[in-house]
Amino acid sequence: MTDNVDDEFREIVAQLADLDEDSLDDVDVEPPPVQQAPPARTTYELTSPRSWSPGPEIDDFVPPPPLPPARWPSTIAWSGIAAIFTGVVLLGGVILGWLAGSWATPLGFISMCGGILVLFTRLPRDRDAGPDNGARV
């Protein structure tokens, strides 16, 4: 191969010029398939929103059964909520300068972490089998 691209191109063209038309007649070329005409265009009637009318009334909706009444959080859950609230109040008091940071900061931090741990341990450990993947509202 040569380094010059123009020389390579000239060689390729010279090789193509050596081919005669008789050698191309031996190739079986199928004609391209005949394309059918596209379907006739569908015309739409331009209407305004005021000319719209609803379809026939279908009254087959059956409402789902009502949900059971909500349960109140247990005593353990309330203690977790109270611990988080206590931690927020203690840390807020330290930030506002109402409480001494030497004892209120560690106590507030431990209280918040404990409340969060209590609430996380109350979460369900398994999911219900079904299309909602255990999601609960």
For residue range 53-110, what is the model confidence (pLDDT) as tens digits?
777 787 888 888 988 887 888 888 899 999 999 999 999 999 998 888 899 999 999 9
**Tokens at 61, concatenated:** 């909706």
- What is the spatial distance between Cα 113 and Cα 84, in angstroms, rounded to a whole number? 7
- SS3 state at 134: coil
Domains of the chain, residue spans: 75-121
**pLDDT single digits (tens) 8-33:** 888 887 777 666 655 655 666 677 78
The pLDDT value given to residue 87:
94
